[in-house]
C-alpha cells in the first residue's frame, strides 16, 4: 500500500513575458549545511514554479512552467538529506518537473531571486534538516552540460553475494562453500543486467572478502540502487530439506519453523538484525527508528513482496521450492527502508543433490536467469521515475477492453504481436476481461 501525503503550494512569481521565451536551467549548486541544505538553480528567465512534497519515499517535486528539462542534474556531494536530483514526467511538453529525493522528510521553502552582481535569475530551494555530519558547509556545483541528460537513466540493481572472506557461509556435505556459490550466481546475474538496455548492476561484493551485513544495504544506497537482491544458499542439520525460498523483510519475528531456526543459528547470526539487536547499536538506532515509522517502508515492502512472488514464479521452473510463498524475516541485509530488497535462498547446500546441482555452472546460470526474468517483469510494470524504462512506458498506449474484443483482435488493430501485449501486461494466458486496461507496447 502506498501512502501519499500531498501538500500543494501554488505560486506565480512573475507575469509571464509576452514573448514567452523558454526558460533554461544554466547551473545548479547544492550546499549541504548543518541545519539545512540549499539548492540553487540558475535560470535564463524568472522561474514560474509550483511544488509539492510526497512521502514513501520522501521527495520534493518542483514543476517549472515553460522550462526545458535538458540540463544535467547529477551532483556528486548531495549531503545526508538529499539523495539525488532527477527529472520526472512533466505536466506538459513545455514544462520541466524536477524531483529531489530526500533521505528524511523536510518542509521546503522555495523562492526566486532577481539578477544581481554576477548572478542571473535564480530559484532557491531551502530544505531544513541536518544534512551533514561535521557541521561545516561544503558547496558542490556543476556547470550544466546540456548534452548529458540523466533523464533516461539506467535502472540500478544491487546484487549481494552472501558471506565472503573469513565467513564461508554454509558448507555442503562434500565441502562446497556457500560464499563461492553465491558469488558465482551474483556475477552471472550482474552480467545479465549489464547486457540489458536500460539496466545496470552493482555487485555489493565482487570478490572473496567479508562485508558486515548492515553495511551491505548501505553500499546499495551509496550506489543509488533501485533494488537489492541478496543471494544465499540454505543449510540444515539434516540432509533432507531442499528447495529454494524467497525472503522479504518482516518487522515481526519470522514465524515459520525454518525462520526460527535461522534466527538461532550462529551461521546467520550476524546477518540477522532483529529489532532488539539493532536498537542496542547506537549508530543504527536512528536508522531503525526511521524504519519503524515507515517513511518509505510501506512502498519498499509491497514492492519487495511483489518482486518476490515473481521470483518464485520463475524459480519454480528451474528448481523445486522449499516454500511456495514469500517468507518474512528480519535479515539485516533487508533493512534498507527506501530500497525494495529481497533475499533469495537458491537451495539447500546441505542436501547432497542440491549441492551437486549448485556446483553445476549451467544450473547456477538458470537460477540467475530466473531472478533476471522476474526482475525484468517487475520493472516493466513499475519502472522507477526518470529511467529509460519509465520513458518507454510513457510512450506506450493504454486500451480499455470492450465487449467482444480479444487479444488477437487488439494485436491486429494496433499492429503488434499478441505475445508483446502479453509480455507488456504480464499476462499468463489469452483471457482478457471487459474494462481491463491494457498497455499496448509501441512497435
Ligand atoms: Zn547464507
Q: For residues 126-135, give the mean pLDDT.
A: 68
Q: For residues 243-257, give the mean pLDDT.
A: 61
Tell me which residue of 154, 155, 141, 138 sits closest to 72, measured CA to CA: 141
Give the Cα separation of 290 and 105 in Å (integer): 10
Kindly give the distance from the C-alpha atom of residue 237 to the centroid of ligand 1, in angstroms, as a whole number: 14
Residues with CB under 5 A from ligand 1 (ion): 162, 169, 232
What percent of the chain lies above the pLDDT cut of 90? 30
Give the Cα separation of 205 and 182 in Å (integer): 10
Q: Which of 76-90, 193-207, 226-240 has the lowest mean pLDDT?
A: 76-90
CB-count exposure of residue 391 (10 Å: 0-12, 13-18, 19+):
middle
Kindly give the distance from the C-alpha atom of residue 135 to the centroid of ligand 1, in angstroms, as a whole number: 39
Kindly give the distance from the C-alpha atom of residue 81 to the centroid of ligand 1, in angstroms, as a whole number: 33
Residue 177 is predicted with a pLDDT of 96
Kindly give the distance from the C-alpha atom of residue 363 to the centroid of ligand 1, in angstroms, as a whole number: 18
Superfamily of domain 396-440: LysM domain (3.10.350.10)
Q: DSSP assignment, residue 104?
A: S
What percent of the chain lies above the pLDDT cut of 70? 76
Is the pLDDT assigned to residue 224 strictly greater than 70? yes
For residues 406 and 324, which has the higher predicted lDDT (pLDDT)? 406
Residue 298 is predicted with a pLDDT of 60
Residue 277 is predicted with a pLDDT of 37
Kindly give the distance from the C-alpha atom of residue 346 to the centroid of ligand 1, in angstroms, as a whole number: 10
Q: For residues 193-222, give the mean pLDDT.
A: 91
Is the pLDDT assigned to residue 343 strictly greater than 70? yes
Give the Cα separation of 292 and 294 in Å (integer): 5
Q: For residues 15-19, give the mean pLDDT.
A: 39
Kindly give the distance from the C-alpha atom of residue 264 to the centroid of ligand 1, in angstroms, as a whole number: 13
Q: For residues 39-46, give the mean pLDDT.
A: 91
Half-sphere exposure of residue 86: CA atoms within 13 angstroms, side-chain side: 19
Residue 299 is predicted with a pLDDT of 67
Kindly give the distance from the C-alpha atom of residue 271 to the centroid of ligand 1, in angstroms, as a whole number: 8
Query: Average pLDDT over the chain, rounded to whole?
Result: 78
- Alpha carbon 165 to its chain centroid, in Å, reads 27
Q: Quick one: pLDDT band at residue 90, thresholds 50, 70, 90?
A: confident
> What residue has cell string 541545519?
35
Contact between 332 and 273 under an 8 Å Cβ cutoff? The reply is yes
Residue 88 is predicted with a pLDDT of 82
Q: For residues 369-379, give the mean pLDDT.
A: 96
Contact between 267 and 162 under an 8 Å Cβ cutoff? The reply is no
Is the pLDDT assigned to residue 255 strictly greater than 50? no
Q: For residues 12-17, give the mean pLDDT.
A: 38
Residue 35 is predicted with a pLDDT of 84
Q: For residues 190-202, give the mean pLDDT.
A: 93
Q: Quick one: pLDDT band at residue 71, thresholds 50, 70, 90?
A: confident
State the CATH class of domain 21-152: mainly beta
Q: Quick one: pLDDT band at residue 337, thresholds 50, 70, 90?
A: low
Kindly give the distance from the C-alpha atom of residue 413 to the centroid of ligand 1, in angstroms, as a whole number: 51
Residue 204 is predicted with a pLDDT of 96
Is the pLDDT assigned to residue 364 strictly greater than 90? yes
Residue 119 is predicted with a pLDDT of 84
The strand pair at 341-348 and 227-234 is best described as parallel
Is the pLDDT assigned to residue 7 strictly greater than 70? no
Is the pLDDT assigned to residue 140 strictly greater than 90? no
Tell me which residue of 131, 133, 107, 104 sits closest to 51, measured CA to CA: 107
Give the Cα separation of 354 and 367 in Å (integer): 12
Give the Cα separation of 316 and 319 in Å (integer): 5
Q: Quick one: pLDDT band at residue 431, thresholds 50, 70, 90?
A: confident
Q: Quick one: pLDDT band at residue 95, thresholds 50, 70, 90?
A: confident
Q: 152 CB contacts (<8 Å, ≥6 apart)?
A: 198, 386, 387, 388, 391
Kindly give the distance from the C-alpha atom of residue 279 to the centroid of ligand 1, in angstroms, as a whole number: 23
Residue 163 is predicted with a pLDDT of 93
Q: Where are the domains of the chain?
A: 21-152, 156-381, 396-440
CATH dotted code for 156-381 = 3.40.630.40
Q: For residues 212-240, give the mean pLDDT.
A: 89
Is the pLDDT assigned to residue 259 strictly greater than 60? no
Tens-place pLDDT, residues 267-325: 333 333 333 333 334 444 444 333 333 434 566 777 888 899 999 999 999 998 888 88
Is the pLDDT assigned to residue 242 strictly greater than 60? yes
Task: Establish whether the linkage from the previous residue to 57 is cis, with ω within 30° of 0.
Answer: yes
Tens-place pLDDT, residues 161-170: 999 999 999 9
Contact between 270 and 366 under an 8 Å Cβ cutoff? The reply is no
Q: For residues 421-431, give the mean pLDDT.
A: 88
Backbone torsions φ then ψ of 77, nearest 5 degrees: -100, 95
Contact between 368 and 161 under an 8 Å Cβ cutoff? The reply is no
Tell me which residue of 389, 391, 392 sits closest to 376, measured CA to CA: 389
The whole-model pTM stands at: 0.55
Kindly give the distance from the C-alpha atom of residue 178 to the centroid of ligand 1, in angstroms, as a whole number: 7
Q: For residues 170-198, give the mean pLDDT.
A: 95
Amino acid at each position: 500500500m502506498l501512502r501519499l501525503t500531498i501538500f500543494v503550494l501554488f505560486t506565480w512569481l512573475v507575469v509571464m513575458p509576452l514573448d514567452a521565451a523558454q526558460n533554461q536551467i544554466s547551473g545548479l549548486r547544492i550546499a549541504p549545511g548543518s541545519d539545512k541544505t540549499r539548492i540553487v538553480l540558475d535560470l535564463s528567465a524568472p522561474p514560474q514554479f509550483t511544488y509539492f512534497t510526497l512521502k514513501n519515499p520522501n521527495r520534493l517535486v518542483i514543476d517549472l512552467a515553460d522550462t526545458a528539462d535538458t540540463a544535467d542534474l547529477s551532483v556528486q556531494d548531495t549531503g545526508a538529506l538529499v539523495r539525488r536530483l532527477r527529472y520526472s514526467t512533466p505536466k506538459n511538453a513545455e514544462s520541466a518537473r524536477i524531483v529531489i529525493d530526500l533521505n528524511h522528510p523536510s518542509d521546503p521553502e522555495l523562492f526566486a531571486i532577481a539578477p544581481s552582481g554576477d548572478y542571473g535569475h535564480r530559484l532557491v530551494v531551502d530544505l531544513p534538516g541536518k544534512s551533514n555530519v561535521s557541521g561545516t558547509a561544503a558547496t558542490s556545483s556543476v556547470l550544466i552540460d546540456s548534452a548529458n541528460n540523466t533523464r533516461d537513466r539506467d535502472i540500478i540493481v544491487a546484487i549481494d553475494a552472501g558471506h565472503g572472506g573469513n565467513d564461508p557461509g554454509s558448507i555442503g556435505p562434500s565441502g562446497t562453500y556457500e560464499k563461492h556459490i553465491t558469488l558465482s550466481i551474483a556475477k552471472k546475474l550482474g552480467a545479465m543486467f549489464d547486457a540489458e538496455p536500460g539496466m545496470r548492476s552493482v555487485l555489493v561484493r565482487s570478490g572473496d572478502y567479508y562485508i558486515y551485513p548492515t553495511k551491505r544495504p548501505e553500499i546499495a544506497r551509496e550506489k543509488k540502487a533501485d533494488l537489492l537482491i541478496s543471494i544465499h544458499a540454505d543449510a540444515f542439520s539434516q540432509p533432507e530439506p531442499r528447495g529454494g525460498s524467497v525472503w522479504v523483510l518482516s518487522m515481526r519475528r519470522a514465524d515459520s519453523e525454518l525462520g526460527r531456526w535461522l534466527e538461532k543459528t550462529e551461521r546467520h547470526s550476524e546477518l540477522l538484525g532483529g529489532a532488539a539487536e539493532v536498537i542496542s547499536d547506537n549508530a543504527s538506532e536512528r536508522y531503525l527508528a526511521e524504519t519503524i515509522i515507515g517513511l518509505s517502508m510501506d512502498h519498499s515492502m509491497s514492492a519487495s513482496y511483489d518482486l518476490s512472488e515473481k521470483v518464485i514464479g520463475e524459480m519454480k521452473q528451474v528448481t523445486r521450492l522449499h516454500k511456495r510463498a514469500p517468507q518474512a524475516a528480519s535479515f539485516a541485509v533487508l533493512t534498507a527502508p527506501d530500497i525494495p530488497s529481497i533475499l533469495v535462498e537458491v537451495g539447500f547446500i546441505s542436501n547432497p543433490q542440491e549441492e551437486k546441482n549448485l556446483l553445476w555452472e549451467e544450473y547456477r546460470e538458470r537460477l540467475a536467469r530466473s531472478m533476471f526474468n522476474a526482475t525484468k517483469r517487475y520493472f516493466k510494470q513499475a519502472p522507477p521515475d526518470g529511467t529509460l524504462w519509465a520513458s518507454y512506458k510513457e510512450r506506450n498506449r493504454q486500451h480499455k477492453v470492450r465487449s467482444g474484443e480479444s487479444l488477437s483482435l487488439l494485436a491486429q488493430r494496433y499492429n503488434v504481436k499478441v505475445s508483446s501485449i502479453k509480455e507488456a501486461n504480464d499476462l499468463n494466458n489469452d483471457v482478457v476481461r471487459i474494462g481491463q486496461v491494457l498497455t499496448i507496447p509501441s512497435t
